[in-house]
Amino acid sequence: MSVTTEAPKRVEEPRLSHARDISRPGFIVKLILMALINALGLYGILAAWAQDSMGVVAFLVVALIAANWVYFSKRAVPAKYLYPGLVFLAVYQLYVMGNTAFVAFTNYGDGHNSTKAAAIEQILKTSDRRIDGSSTYPVAVVGQGADLGFAVVRDGEVQLGTMDEPLAPVAGEVDGDRVAAVEGWEILSIAEIQQQQNEVLGLRVSLSEEPADGWLRTDNGALAYVARSTLSYDEAADTFTNDEGKVFSADPDRGLFAAEDGEELVPGWRVLVGFENFAKMFTDSRLSGPFFQILVWTFAFAILSVATTFALGLFMAVIFNDPLVKGRRFYRAMFILPYAFPGFLAALVWKGMLNKEFGIINETLLGGADINWLGDGNLAKLAILGVNLWLGFPYMFLITTGALQSIPGELHEAGVMDGAGPWRRFRSITFPLLLVSVAPLLIASFAFNFNNFSLIYMLTGGGPNFPGAPVVIGETDILISMVYAVAFESGVKQYGLASALSILIFVMVGVISWLGFRQTRKLEEIL
């Protein structure tokens, strides 16, 4: 006879974990923060949609969906910590790198900074003249932040327009035949108009969406007249024709309108130019010569900066690592001061000290010598290396001091037992072990000095300049300061060429760093 017993049934407790979660203060805080993030994201989506930035819209939609899934899911715990960093990486690194690479293959810059449609509209507006017998309007120049516009009384109502938007009715007040106030806009005074004279005189506000209707412009900020372009655009033929019958045809390869005699209309528009920007640095004789000189100086500056700062830092570290030296802590603290002082301020101080006429180095230390430290190319390079040595050796002193203190003392004792002298112990024991620790930092220091823009810009500004160069570049410029000069300081901004230079810098630093790290791994394997 067998007795069977049933296993007791497990009584499941009501699952109230979800209710407990949503009642916790942490969840409420998270809910509020996510609501704010979603609100800001939605605002960004709407703003980007209004500007037809579909790429930004797509990114924000994906980013918001991912954020809500990550922070409301219980299975994505690691992603909660990684997600903010990944978003910033995508925005500030990947996007910047991708956009720079794209611009490097375009003619983007002054005269080619927008679309073809915008270029056509701008050409029509900038080649205008007053229409004979047209009406004159008392005008109020209005401002809203950096935006300027015209406000006039037209067809019995207040109308306002800007460079990008044609005249349209707005809420405002009228004093006689002149606009006295406009909702959301500030009417500029005569003094304010004079401060922005060039912008006001160059402002053209379309009467309607049709360019043929003309636009308003002013010569004095008080009265506006109707003007119309002296050029006519034929959309079917894609040409402009002026009053004299000269035809300007579109050149899609260069992104501009040009006549048969070579005359060009400005502005043009952005187009892909392939490897033209890269080839220009090697084929344009006015640019290739200075470019190769700057390239050689950049490598020399980076290598010599690392070598000199490392040598001096190691020398001081070896001396003050000796326990027989008294007051080591005080001296080490003093050596940190150049590194603790902001580099760009130190460069400005040294620039004053190296001044040819009033600097303390010429006037006091050299007894009134007339040495043009920053005006002569060779002396300026020497001055840069000297200032960088003063700024950089404390960093090398710090890292080599730490590396020296990490080397086991038994190794030195073994060297002494084998009869090795101080120099032999340093050469065969200390220095190889030191390199294992500091080699990656030396590579990082090389990459930093290869792009040490602030020192060059603050100390010499890249000068003295190369005569006859198509851009404002000089003998002490390095590649990164040349990029800045090409993009912003050469009168005509050439963002495409500057981006191409940036790509070359990225490739060179990347290859050199890769080779350096390979050698570092070999050194570790040997030891």
Contact 255, 261 (CB under 8 A): no
Contact 106, 272 (CB under 8 A): yes
DSSP for 432-499 reads HHHHHHHHHHHHHHHHHHHT-HHHHHHHTTTPSBPTT-SS--BTT--HHHHHHIIIIISSS--HHHHH
77 — pLDDT class (breaks 50, 70, 90): confident
Please give the Cα distance from 400 to 377 (Å, whole number): 33
Look at residue 126 and tell me whether its pLDDT is greater than 70. yes
For residue 409, the model assigns a pLDDT of 82
Question: Of 224, 392, 211, which Cα lies nearest the Cα of 308?
Answer: 392
Q: Give the long-range contacts of residues 372-376, CB within 8 A, separation 24 or more.
A: 374/459, 374/460, 374/463, 375/463, 375/464, 376/464
Please give the Cα distance from 273 to 105 (Å, whole number): 6
What would the mean pLDDT of 105-122 be, rounded to a whole number? 92
**pLDDT, tens digit, for every residue of 458-471?**
999 999 999 888 89
11 — pLDDT class (breaks 50, 70, 90): very low
**pLDDT, tens digit, for every residue of 138-178?**
999 999 988 999 999 998 899 999 998 999 999 999 988 89
Please give the Cα distance from 318 to 425 (Å, whole number): 13
At 159 the three-state DSSP class reads: strand
Q: Would you tell me the crossing angle of helices 495-526 and 276-283 to the nearest 10 degrees?
A: 80
Annotate 182-240 with three-state secondary structure: ECCEEECCHHHHHHCHHHHHCCCEECCCCHHHCEEEECCCCEEEEEEECCEEECCCCEE
Look at residue 133 and tell me whether its pLDDT is greater than 60. yes
For residue 524, the model assigns a pLDDT of 60
**pLDDT, tens digit, for every residue of 250-291?**
999 999 999 999 999 999 999 999 999 999 989 988 899 999
Question: Of 201, 86, 76, 90, which Cα lies nearest the Cα of 150?
Answer: 201
CATH code of the domain made up of 112-127+234-274? 3.10.650.10
**pLDDT, tens digit, for every residue of 470-481?**
899 999 999 999
Look at residue 24 and tell me whether its pLDDT is greater than 90. no
Look at residue 15 and tell me whether its pLDDT is greater than 80. no
For residue 1, the model assigns a pLDDT of 45
- The percent of residues above 70 in pLDDT, for the chain, comes to 94
**Mean pLDDT of all residues belonging to the chain:** 89
What would the mean pLDDT of 300-320 be, rounded to a whole number? 95
Domain 130-229: which CATH number of 2.40.430, 3.30.70, 3.40.50, 1.10.8: 2.40.430
Vertex 280: Cα angle to 278 and 286 (nearest 5): 145
Look at residue 90 and tell me whether its pLDDT is greater than 60. yes
Please give the Cα distance from 222 to 216 (Å, whole number): 12
The yes-or-no answer to whether 130-229 and 282-526 have a common fold is no
Contact 240, 265 (CB under 8 A): yes
At 136 the three-state DSSP class reads: strand
Residue type, 376: D
Q: Domain spans of the chain? A: 22-103, 112-127+234-274, 130-229, 282-526
Look at residue 17 and tell me whether its pLDDT is greater than 70. no
The set of residues, in sequence order, having a beta carbon less than 8 Å from that of 428 and lying 6+ positions away, is 415, 420
For residue 69, the model assigns a pLDDT of 93
**pLDDT, tens digit, for every residue of 504-527?**
999 999 998 888 888 777 666 555
For residue 300, the model assigns a pLDDT of 97
**pLDDT, tens digit, for every residue of 177-192?**
899 999 999 999 999 9
Question: Of 80, 61, 91, 205, which Cα lies nearest the Cα of 142?
Answer: 205
Q: Which of 22-36, 71-85, 213-227 has the lowest mean pLDDT?
A: 22-36
**pLDDT, tens digit, for every residue of 370-408?**
999 999 999 999 999 999 999 999 999 999 999 998 888
| Higher local confidence (pLDDT), 341 or 18 | 341
CATH 1.10.3720.10 is held by the domain 282-526: yes
Q: Are strands 247-251 and 256-258 parallel, antiparallel or unpaired?
A: antiparallel
Look at residue 328 and tell me whether its pLDDT is greater than 70. yes
For residue 14, the model assigns a pLDDT of 47
Look at residue 136 and tell me whether its pLDDT is greater than 70. yes
| Higher local confidence (pLDDT), 176 or 305 | 305
